[in-house]
Structure 1
Amino acid sequence: MSNMLDYEKERKEFKWNVPEYFNFAGDVVDKWAENPNKLAMLWVDENDREIRRTFKDFKERSNQLANLLVQQGIKAGDVVILIMPRYIEWWETFLACLKIGAIVSPGTVQLTTKDLAFRIETAKAVAIISDAKTANKVDEIKQGIDTLKLRIVVGEPREGWLHYQSEIEKHSTDFTVVKTKSDDGAILFFTSGTTGNPKMTLHTHATYPYAHFVTGKYWLDLTPEDLHWNLSDTGWGKAGWSSIFGPWHMGAALFVHHESRFNTKRCLELLQKYPITTFCGAPTNYRMLVLEDLSQYSFPTLRSCTGAGEPLNPEVIETWKKATGITIRDGYGQTETVIVIGNFPGVPVRQGSMGKPAPGFEVEVIDDAGNILPPGKEGDIAIKVAPERPAGLFKEYWLEPERTQRCFRGPWYITGDRAVKDADGYFWFVGRADDVILASGYRIGPFEVESALIEHEAVAESAVVASPDELRGEIVKAFVVLTEGYQPSPQLVKELQDHVKKVTAPYKYPREIEFVEELPKTVSGKIRRVQLRQMEWAKKGKK
């Protein structure tokens, strides 16, 4: 039974009701822990080692760490950097930091020494809790991180660092959770912009830990009986959505696979072997999975699949549905938000559409003056923030009031993404505002061209960008990764161009196609079109 039986009714009757005080670790996780046998996590590593953890385990272990942190002088409002792969300790640490009122700043294990130095210095972090690889990089930093008082390492003991496993054993499993106000700072994400250094996105206890119940309830559609697998790295916002707050709000257990890199065959084997009921991945993951022979697998317990990070190509949705009987439901939001637009259970999916606004959000497509545009007109995706600001929107870009201010236009928060809304209220993604291509007076969104290309059996993945052109100003250029068994050739270029002309409006076809081994991606698996575009413009001598 779905959590949303009547979409329109749910949206109309929805109220945020944010309490004055809220602490996800104390108010949600510790509440589930009252049932000592309630499973919170089934953890499996690459060697098939299994560990089961209850909510009670997480309550007690996070209490021990909270006691250790307090003993070491870490207090409410302090920034603690948290970096490790999918170790169980990542979840324990996140909860412990929330319990003491500290601000958690998660990062990916792929960060370089330079990235780490920038984060520690900019956030004035007082502590870092990490794996051995990250600890190595931190020890290489020679200056600018004087605020760092405490270093804790998970794994092997290390000089100059407290050893997580042996230290927390010395502390009590009882801890009184700090009474945190809903508008106190809780999480600090560094989000990479397309230019310059990353921005620091500050979330309060209400804007992310609390508000993600909307993500867990309506979009992930979870219940306490579910076993939910989210493929995302612990280092990016999607882990907040789908690996901790969304599922645990609903009392669902997490399936966690600790692996060094994504392996499609292994992923399908695990989906088949374990009683996983709900599955969430980035479009990149699904694009790779559908290249396998899905007819060799069966997923008897799977009932729901979701995708987020970038829009999902209709072709991928279709292939997955044929094999599993399940339609992947796309969801849209940002590091700055919880789920904002999505394909919700019970609302018919229009393939390739972002879906409709989530309960708790008024979302429109607006023009430069802040006017709501009629159906069919492209504009900025904007969230209404006045007279009432929705809970699931970040507080600010920390220490950058001007940058924060630039995101608002009258009563609207501007997401930086472009879309068209149709007559039935469905949103259709066009692209990041700076990804849109202007060719011969036409505006072309890269996503539509990429979706047309991926329908061709030779294309595994593609990225479409603007390339400078004397005559047209800009032309559509596609970077294409081929599926196994296909070789680059002038004939294939022509075949792909003709295919796009047939599938979408002829003026959108890529005038240039370059075959590549792989596409540049962010740590969260999004295609870095900006990097390809900059290379193109530099190559052709343009700025």
Structure 2
Amino acid sequence: MTTTRRPGTDHYEAIYRQFRWHVPALFNIAQVCCTRWARSRAEAPAILHEHEDGRQSALTYGELQARANRLSHLLERLGVAPGDRVAVVMPQRVETAIAHMAIYQMGAVAMPLSMLFGPEALEYRLADSEAKVAIADESSIANLLAARAGAPALQCVVAVGAAQGQGDIDWEAALARESSVYSARLTHADDPAVLIYTSGTTGPPKGALIPHRALIGNLPGFVASQNWFGFEPFASQAPSGEQATPGEAAEMPAAAGAGGQVFWSPADWAWTGGLMDALLPTLYFGRPIVAYQGRFDAEKAFGLMERYRVTHTFLFPTALKAMMKAVPNPREHYQLHLQAIMSAGEAVGDAVFAYGEEKLGVTINEMFGQTEINYVVGNCARLWPARPGSMGRPYPGHRVAVIDDEGRECPPGTPGDVAVHRCDIHGDPDPVFFLGYWRNETATRAKFTGDPDNSWCRTGDTAVMDEDGYLWYQGRSDDVFKSAGYRIGPSEIENCLVKHPAVANAAVVPKPDPQRGALVKAYVVLAPGHVGDERLVQELQHHVRGRLAPYEYPKEIEFIDALPMTTTGKVQRRVLRQREEERARQSRTGAEV
């Protein structure tokens, strides 16, 4: 059934209540993201690649499948069996997409690793996962080879691009010797597909093992956050996995690519944000995705979106803040075709939200999720009204609540831990869940509250749910702190600071204080053309004090060239907090002397 929607109308409740999961017993990511399109529309573009030096290339679905088939044969020849881990250490490039399709269709497990990882980070993950093969290009080959000695299970390094000649096997020559025809293995929906290591706040990184079915679990959120991506004319319900049965083309509206939808995101395909929120769901709907191989730059981002007529994107709040400061009025300089913007990783805040609506002409759909349970909360401006500053509502198929330390649901307006139930509101298992942490049952059990079959999965993020089911982000549970008895969530203060024209970005952390327990301290990155002096400190303090509660304004402000960030674009407040704690220890030691 096709219906017409008016912007601003609220159809959330009907969609959320009517949605039902349909997860087939047999399901494979490569089959639904590539094979079916290679059979039905082989000449359709899949990957549109551009290097920062200006080189461009394109890969059709037929070419993507043929090259994936060759790589699957090669990996089998190298001894990779179903369930074995294969490391993919490359940026956004066609070979990265080929590698993922090849690994999935043979039943092995892809382990994407960031090209930014140094030798120690690579060594830990390669050794812990016991990866058999690693595929690397010029961005990572040196660090990978330096880490190899500490990963005895690693039998072969396949070198790609300019790295050819530095590994054990060269990509081009090896694939040329293999057949372009391959019989894919049948995989169950619960079989493992991806192993992604998360960077926790304490202890070594944990490997989250993601099954093939998790892609189905991601689809409602992806479609909604991208204003019904993949559906034309406008459909009345979100997708399920029912149409994605192996061996059959998904019978979804406009699945053949009508409507000219093109996706791009700077999110690294080595992370959940780039892989599960961009690459795989775009290919699932048979659309082209732009792969930009280069460093993020605000003006280059606008140029890229103009050049490829990008209609849908995922941009981190940090990227949007940089774009907002660098190009205040983008539509005066660029011809944009944006239909949807999803943002996640940090709170968007109403300053960036307003920039989207007023300067980009798009209501930014904030989304919330994590590697273990991705795409569970968010907005869809086309179907229900977004509220500036809110994370959104639970996406169809996900039962989400704010719970207390004992696992009880908190009343509206009460802060607590955002949690996702193993079953949806109909009692059906939610396919979005990870299988567990790699060889770490203790950590897996600690993630859940309640009985195994009736449990909540805690995210470790604090939020408030209002009477209408909208969630309001307060910060990571370990980022929230108390000052003079007041509970302080950093995101609201950071958002307020960014509204000032002199502030490009900000992070708020507690500074130890013997009287108040902690002071509110802000680290501020200045926008171009501004000087961080005492006058500006006072101006920023007054700016916050006049807009938020008196106890929330930063008692101390330190200007910094760049905030410590994760490779996924999240501010590492933990690093700044530890810096303040170390300074306090040194101060106490000096006073004692």
TM-score (norm 1): 0.96
The aligned amino acid for 1:343 is N
Does residue 370 of structure 2 align to residue 318 of structure 1? no
Q: Secondary structure at the match of 1:211?
A: helix
Structure 2 counterpart of 1:379, one-letter code: G
1:58 maps to 2:64: yes
Instruction: Tell me which moved more, 190-199 or 211-220.
Output: 211-220
Cα separation, 1, equivalents of 2:216 and 2:62 = 20
- Per-residue deviation, 1:124: 0.8
Answering whether residue 441 of structure 2 is matched by residue 401 of structure 1, we say yes
- Residue in 2 aligned with 1:18? 23
Out of 214, 218, 227, the position equivalent to 2:262 is 227
- Structure 1 residues 474 and 435: alpha-carbon distance in aligned structure 2, compared to 1, 3 A threshold: same
Cα offsets for 1:442-478 (capped at 9, x unmatched): 1010000101111111111000001100100011100
Letter in 2 for 1:202: L
Distance in 1 between the 2:167 and 2:324 partners? 47
Is the Cα–Cα contact under 8 Å of residues 311 and 339 in structure 2 kept in the other structure? yes
Q: Deviations over 1:392-444 (max 9, x none)?
A: 01110111111111111112111100000111111000000000011111101
Q: CA deviation at 1:172?
A: 1.2
- Match for residue 343 of structure 1? 379
CA contact (8 A) 2:159 2:167 kept: no
Shift of the 160–314 alpha-carbon distance from structure 1 to 2, 3 Å rule, reads closer
On the 8 A contact 1:84/1:108 being kept in 2, the answer is yes
Which of 513, 519, 523 is 2:557 aligned to?
513
Using the alignment, how far apart are the partners of 1:356 and 1:525 within structure 2? 23
Where structure 1 has 5 or more consecutive residues not aligned to the other structure, the ranges are none
Q: Which residue in 2 is equivalent to 1:147?
A: 153
Whether contact under 8 Å (1:217, 1:250) holds in the other structure is: no
* Amino acid aligned to 2:389: G
Tell me which of 196, 199, 203 is aligned to 1:196: 203
Is 1:413 aligned to residue 457 of structure 2?
A: yes
On the 8 A contact 2:221/2:377 being kept in 1, the answer is no
Whether contact under 8 Å (1:458, 1:486) holds in the other structure is yes
* Structure 1 residue 27, shift from structure 2 partner: 3.2
Match of 1:277 in 2: 311
Question: Aligned partners of 1:38 and 1:160: how far apart in 2?
Answer: 33
Secondary structure of the 2:358 match is helix
Change beyond 3 A, Cα 1:324–1:185: same
Quickly say closer, same or farther: Cα 1:314–1:412, change in 2 above 3 A: same
Shift of 1:117: 1.2
The residue aligned with 2:236 is none
Residue number in structure 1 paired with 2:293: 258
In the alignment, the residues of structure 2 paired with residue 51 and residue 179 of structure 1 have an alpha-carbon distance, to the nearest angstrom, of: 32
Q: Contact 2:282–2:289 (CA<8 Å) still a contact in 1?
A: yes
Check the 8 A contact 1:40/1:251 in 2, yes or no: yes
Provide Cα deviations, 1:179-222, integer angstroms capped at 9, x if missing partner. 11111111100100112210110111112x33222233222232
Aligned with residue 433 of structure 1, among 458, 477, 482: 477
How many residues of Structure 1 are paired with residues of Structure 2 in the alignment? 541
Q: Map 1:257-406 to 2 at 5 A.
A: 257-259=292-294, 261-295=295-329, 296-344=332-380, 345-386=382-423, 388-406=428-446
- The DSSP-based 3-state class of the residue aligned with 1:290 is helix
Residue 9 of structure 1: how far off its partner (Å): 2.0
d(CA) in 2 for partners of 1:140 and 1:424?
53
Paired letter, 1:194? T
Q: Which amino acid aligns with 2:75?
A: L
- Secondary structure of the corresponding residue to residue 245 of structure 1: helix
Q: 1:73 to 1:3 in 2, by over 3 A?
A: farther
Distance 1:100 1:512 in 2: 56
CA contact (8 A) 2:506 2:523 kept: yes
Aligned partners of 2:347, 2:335: CA distance in 1, in Å? 24
Moved over 3 A (4+): 1-6, 141-144, 386-389
Distance 1:111 1:377, change over 3 A: same
**Whole-Å separation in 2 of the counterparts to 1:272 and 1:160:** 38
Q: Does residue 485 of the first structure (1) align with residue 529 of the second (2)?
A: yes
Structure 2 residue identity aligned to 1:262: F
Higher relative contact order (CA 8 A, sep 6+): 2
Q: Does 2:545 match 1:501?
A: yes
Question: After alignment, is 282-291 or 494-503 more displaced?
Answer: 494-503
Structure 1 residue 49 corresponds to structure 2 residue 60: no
The code of the aligned residue for 1:511 comes to K
Query: How much has 1:319 moved relative to structure 2?
Result: 2.0
- Aligned-partner residue type, residue 236 of structure 1: W
Secondary structure of 2:325's match?
Answer: coil
TM-fit CA distance, 1:321: 2.1
Partner of 1:423: 467
CA distance 1:2–1:368, change in 2 (3 Å):
farther
**1:522-543 residue CA offsets vs partner (Å, 9 max, x unmatched):** 1111100000000001100189
Distance 2:4 2:517 in 1: 49
In the other structure, the counterpart of 1:9 is: 14
- 1:95-121: CA deviations, max 9, x gaps? 100011111110100111111111111
Greater shift, 136-145 or 401-410, is seen at: 136-145
CA distance in 2, matches of 1:309, 1:300: 24
Deviations 1:52-102, CA, capped at 9 Å, x for gaps: 221111111101111111122211010111111112100000110001111
Residue deviations 1:345-392, cap 9 Å, x none? Answer: 321111110000011101011111111111111111011125544110
Deviation of 1:258 after TM superposition, in Å, equals: 1.4
Q: Give CA deviations for 1:8-55 in whole Å, capped at 9, x if unaligned.
A: 222112222111111111233111122122221221222333212211
Q: Distance in 1 between matches of 2:4 and 2:149?
A: 51
Matches of 2:300 and 2:119, distance apart in 1 = 31
Q: Residue 201 of structure 1 contacts residue 396 of structure 1 at CA under 8 Å; is this kept in 2?
A: yes
Query: Counterpart of 1:8 in 2: which secondary structure?
Result: helix
User: 2:76 aligns to what?
Assistant: 70
What amino acid maps onto 2:283 in structure 1? Answer: W
